[in-house]
Structure 1
Amino acid sequence: MEQLQRPGAVFWIAVCCPSATLTVWASAWLSGAAASDDVLDALLAWGDAHEVVAADAEAAVTLDLPLAGDFPGTPVQLLAALRAHGAGPARLVLPASGDPRGLGGGGPFTEAAMRAGEAVLLPGLGFGLVPVPIAEGLVRWSVHKVAVPLSPDYVALNEAEHGLTDAIRDSAGALQALDVARDRPGVRAELAAKLRARPRLNWPAGTPGRALRVLQRADEVGAILAIAEIDEPGGALSSSAAVRRADALRPLRTAVRTARHAAINEAVRLLTEQADRQP
């Protein structure tokens, strides 16, 4: 894995999603381990511009943000509101169909997070943020009041890492048994192109190396998954074989999400603890 250094930050070629970036950097900023400009710079990997709106009246009034449909606010306004209300560390959520863990029940926030496949939780304030790309280079963050109190959805990093390893082994065996794991011409070049196309993200200084290694591995497996799920040219894969392939890959998709979730939230936990120990 490539690593580059500059004062105050560590650059790794490791990708997850906009919510992961905001979760880590906003938590680092709130704990005094990063500057607000660092948060804003990190978000640029996902879009040249970011806007913020309140999805409901309570979010608008509490955080002093414009409602959806009004002229949007900015990430600077959001950060100021989080600081003013004493927001604690954020948490990443990566829900999927049939797996809404960490969302705390139904409601508009859960629905929006499920559609996006990602969200940022602010358990200390009872709000959640969901990013949606709405135009080329523009990401809109919608802030929702969370319907029910949230309890941390903790997954140990070593458990998530082992789960990813096991899922890789089991999925490979299942695909071989189904005879749907045949190499396509140029698949290695296709994978290399996907990995090269990923945004280069920077993480705060002090971000634990193991969390970043797990995040990197999950990202690489995610790229392989994306290729494995592409139908063969000419539709050579039958519909029944496609269903069996999807069933074989489902545990691996879950393991990738779990690994990303555990890596990001472990990074937040350790960064916050390091900041708390500073004199």
Structure 2
Amino acid sequence: MSSPSSSLAIWCGAWLAGAASPDDVIDAVTEWGPLSLVVAGDPDTADRLSLPWPAPRDVGVAELLRTVRDAAPVGHRDVTVDLVLPAPGDVAGLPRDREFASAAVLAGEGVVVGVPGGSGVAFVPTHEGPDVMRWTVFTVTVPTTYQELSLGEIEYSMRDTVRGAAEALSTLQTVATGRGDDPHTMIAERLALVGRHRYPPLPERTTRVLDTADRVDAILDAARTSAPSQAASSTGAEAREAVLRPLQSAVRTARRAAVRAAIDTYLASDPR
């Protein structure tokens, strides 16, 4: 998977539908960091969910599953699990709750669980070190479902996004950096890293969209990293970001849509 939030969202969707075990979720999430610290985002959430605050504790991913189950009780068919990938100017699906919204934008990701229109929980992961993942838990009002493009439309549009990313890499590589970075090696290393994170069983189209999004993200990362570390001017830096920003937005949209489609498929098959 492409991020800790993606892993948590899609595996929790499978678990809530009975298509994965708690151990499956724990194994997938701890792949991002063997040590999981959990902390409430505020004292009220700490009291309501019996979570540590203000200092996190190593209570493990199992504690996250307990809070997910509290927000998604057995027998309620309207439960949603949403991946959010906010960025400045792109906050699709993000609850209005200020504390969570601020933390999610800063991290660039988060997960929301609950019944639309009701009170739910939200999680924001942050890396505390190479082997440590901190999960901050918030109480939120779950937004009503927002409309994404269909997965077929997303897959079609990603073909243009792949071409755009390749062109951006080629353009930004025209100025030598002197660092000797090989973008093809960087892309391969990035894809090998995300390839460690496995999926639960998914429809082929969903897998293709997620894989394509990972590839485009790797290309864009190589473009940023191996491009000149300092643009010739602020105008040049702005022009570079103007090229990359819409491509990164397309990646976020594709990931949100693919994860949402996968989770909806799981929850729709849940006999509860």
| TM bracket (short chain) | 0.7 to 0.9
State the partner residue of 1:6.
Answer: none
State the partner residue of 2:29.
Answer: 43
Give the alignment partner of residue 193 of structure 1, picking from 180, 189, 192: 189
- Quick one: which amino acid aligns to residue 265 of structure 2? L
Give the alignment partner of residue 210 of structure 2, picking from 215, 220, 228: 215
Q: Which runs of 5+ in 2 are unaligned?
A: 74-78
Q: Which runs of 5+ in 1 are unaligned?
A: 1-14
Residue deviations 1:76-106, cap 9 Å, x none? 1231243245343411000011112211225
Give the alignment partner of residue 63 of structure 1, picking from 49, 60, 65: 49
Residue deviations 1:143-194, cap 9 Å, x none? 1112x44112331212322332333445666787xx5453966332332233
Distance (Å, rounded) in 1 between the aligned partners of 2:132 and 2:56: 16
- Quick one: which amino acid aligns to residue 139 of structure 2? K
- Quick one: which amino acid aligns to residue 152 of structure 1? T
Alignment check: 8 A CA contact 2:34 2:132 kept: yes
Q: Does 1:90 align with 2:86?
A: no
Give the alignment partner of residue 3 of structure 2, picking from 3, 6, 17: 17
Alignment check: 8 A CA contact 1:26 1:39 kept: yes
Distance (Å, rounded) in 2 between the aligned partners of 1:130 and 1:174: 31
Distance (Å, rounded) in 1 between the aligned partners of 2:88 and 2:56: 31
- Quick one: which amino acid aligns to residue 193 of structure 1? E
Distance (Å, rounded) in 2 between the aligned partners of 1:194 and 1:78: 28
Residue deviations 1:119-144, cap 9 Å, x none? 00013242211011112311111111
Distance (Å, rounded) in 2 between the aligned partners of 1:223 and 1:38: 26
State the partner residue of 1:165.
Answer: 159
Distance (Å, rounded) in 2 between the aligned partners of 1:91 and 1:52: 20
State the partner residue of 1:145.
Answer: 139
Distance (Å, rounded) in 2 between the aligned partners of 1:233 and 1:254: 22
TM-score normalised per structure 1: 0.82
Number of positions where the alignment pairs a residue of Structure 1 with one of Structure 2: 258
Residue deviations 1:188-216, cap 9 Å, x none? 233223322335122223x2221111000
TM-score normalised per structure 2: 0.84
- Quick one: which amino acid aligns to residue 48 of structure 1? P
1:17 CA drift (Å): 0.3
Q: 1:84 to 1:126 in 2, by over 3 A?
A: closer
Q: Does 1:134 align with 2:128?
A: yes
Q: Choose between structure 1 and 2 for higher RCO, CA contacts under 8 A separated by at least 6 residues.
A: 1
RMSD of aligned residue pairs (Cα, Å): 2.5
Percentage identity across paired residues of the two chains: 36
Q: 1:241 to 1:82 in 2, by over 3 A?
A: closer
